[in-house]
């Protein structure tokens, strides 16, 4: 009777270590295509059948999931991280949270934790200017509102439709000089789709489209300087579509300084619709994202990947206009 083929037999045949064979079997860590091919050829030649129980032990499930987002000091991200924490807890996971302040180094460190089996998965939403390396296609990673890689599923909303809804609302209530705020053009972000929705509606209505660049990471005072420019350079402005509710709130403050009355001679619409914003600024008209649903879908996609399923499709959720007194 032939002896069962063991892991070390495959390693010897392929000319690699037992650890490397295990990593190939469990699709963990970065390995060259040549190494993967050598191991698979050795398994085929020796008719090796992986031990399922051994593979489960090797995986060393930690029940820890990493979250990497820019900051909790923002209504949208604060609610999103809280919702993710709730969903993950209900699914049996604890959360390792890293507010990156858009520092790519922190994100890279979390990827290393994933490669070292210290966390089971990663949910990311930081908007880094620099590329973070996502070489390994089999890592359980989900992104939220961020285009990362073709093989990493993204949970997002219909930002383009949101941009259209906001602009159409302002036109509908009589605005003709509508200005938009958004990320600088060089930053790759789904926010750009909000801008595209705004520009398309303005073009359709035969109105000039003007966008002021405001970086997410700028200090509040620097953002206010840009908003002051809007009123000094365009005193005719009668409508503003802000790319997020925080900017909308800051614009309202600056508008008062310039003697503008909301909504009598200036209409403002934001974007996000987080719960805390509705408490602090109950009258703000905004485009609401389904933040809690985004968290739920992201955790579902992550769990599927942790179980070994290949998920490459992204999910786009709808937005809706919430009318208040500002527009």
Question: For the segment 66-122, what is each residue's pLDDT rounded down to a tens digit?
Answer: 888 887 778 898 999 999 999 999 999 998 877 656 666 777 777 777 666 678 888
Q: 208 is written with which tokens?
A: 């000039």
Whole-number pLDDT of residue 53: 42
**pTM over cut 0.75:** yes
Q: Give me the sheet containing 320-322, strands edge to edge.
A: 210-213, 178-182, 239-241, 267-272, 285-288, 320-322
Residue 154 pairs with which residues in a beta bridge? 143
Kindly report the CATH number that applies to the domain delimited by 7-59: 1.10.260.40
Instruction: Return the CATH architecture of domain 159-288.
Output: 3-Layer(aba) Sandwich (3.40)
| Other Cβ atoms closer than 10 A to 315 | 17
Whole-number pLDDT of residue 272: 95
Residue 56 has pLDDT above 50, yes or no: no
- What is the average pLDDT across 264-283? 94
- DSSP letter assigned to residue 182: E
Question: For the segment 202-246, what is each residue's pLDDT rounded down to a tens digit?
Answer: 999 999 999 999 998 899 999 999 999 999 999 999 999 999 999
**Bigger pLDDT: 2 vs 321:** 321
- Percent of the chain's residues with pLDDT above 90: 52
**Bigger pLDDT: 51 vs 198:** 198
Asked if 269 and 166 count as a contact pair (C-beta separation under 8 A), the reply is yes
* Pick from 109-123, 201-215, 265-279, 292-306: least confident: 109-123
- DSSP letter assigned to residue 118: S
Could you state, in order of their start, the residue ranges of all structural domains in the chain? 7-59, 64-156+291-317, 159-288
Name the E strands within 162-307.
178-182, 210-213, 239-241, 267-272, 285-288
7-59 and 159-288 in the same fold: no
Kindly report the CATH number that applies to the domain delimited by 64-156+291-317: 3.40.50.2300
Cis, bond preceding 263 (omega within 30 deg of 0): yes
């Amino acid at each position: 009777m032939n002896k069962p083929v063991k892991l070390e037999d495959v390693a010897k045949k392929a000319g690699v270590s037992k650890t490397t064979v295990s990593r190939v079997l469990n699709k963990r860590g970065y390995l060259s295509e040549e190494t993967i091919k050598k191991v698979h050829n050795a398994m085929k030649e020796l008719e090796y059948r992986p031990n399922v129980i051994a593979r489960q032990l090797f995986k060393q499930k930690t029940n820890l999931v990493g979250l990497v987002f820019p900051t909790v000091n923002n209504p949208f991200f604060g609610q999103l991280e809280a919702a993710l924490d709730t969903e993950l807890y209900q699914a049996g996971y604890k959360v390792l949270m890293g507010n990156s302040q858009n520092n790519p180094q922190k994100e890279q460190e979390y990827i290393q934790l994933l490669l070292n089996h210290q966390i089971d998965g990663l949910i990311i939403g930081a908007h880094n200017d620099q590329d973070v390396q996502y070489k390994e296609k089999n890592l359980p990673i989900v992104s939220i509102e961020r285009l990362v890689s073709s093989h990493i599923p993204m949970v997002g909303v219909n930002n383009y439709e949101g941009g259209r809804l906001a602009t159409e609302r302002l036109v509908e209530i009589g605005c003709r000089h509508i200005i938009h705020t958004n990320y600088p053009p060089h930053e790759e972000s789904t926010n750009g789709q909000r801008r595209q929705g705004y520009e398309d509606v303005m073009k359709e209505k035969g109105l000039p489209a003007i966008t002021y660049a405001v970086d997410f990471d700028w200090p509040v005072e620097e953002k206010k300087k840009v908003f002051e420019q809007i009123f000094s350079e365009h005193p005719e402005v009668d409508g503003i579509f802000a790319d997020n509710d925080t900017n909308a709130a800051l614009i309202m403050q600056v508008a008062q300084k310039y003697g503008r009355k909301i909504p009598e001679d200036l209409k403002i619409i934001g974007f996000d619709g987080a719960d805390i914003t509705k408490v602090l600024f109950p009258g703000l008209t905004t485009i609401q994202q389904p933040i809690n649903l985004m968290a739920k879908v992201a955790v579902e996609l992550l769990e599927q990947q942790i179980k070994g399923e290949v998920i490459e499709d992204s999910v786009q959720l709808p937005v809706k206009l919430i009318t208040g007194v500002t527009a």
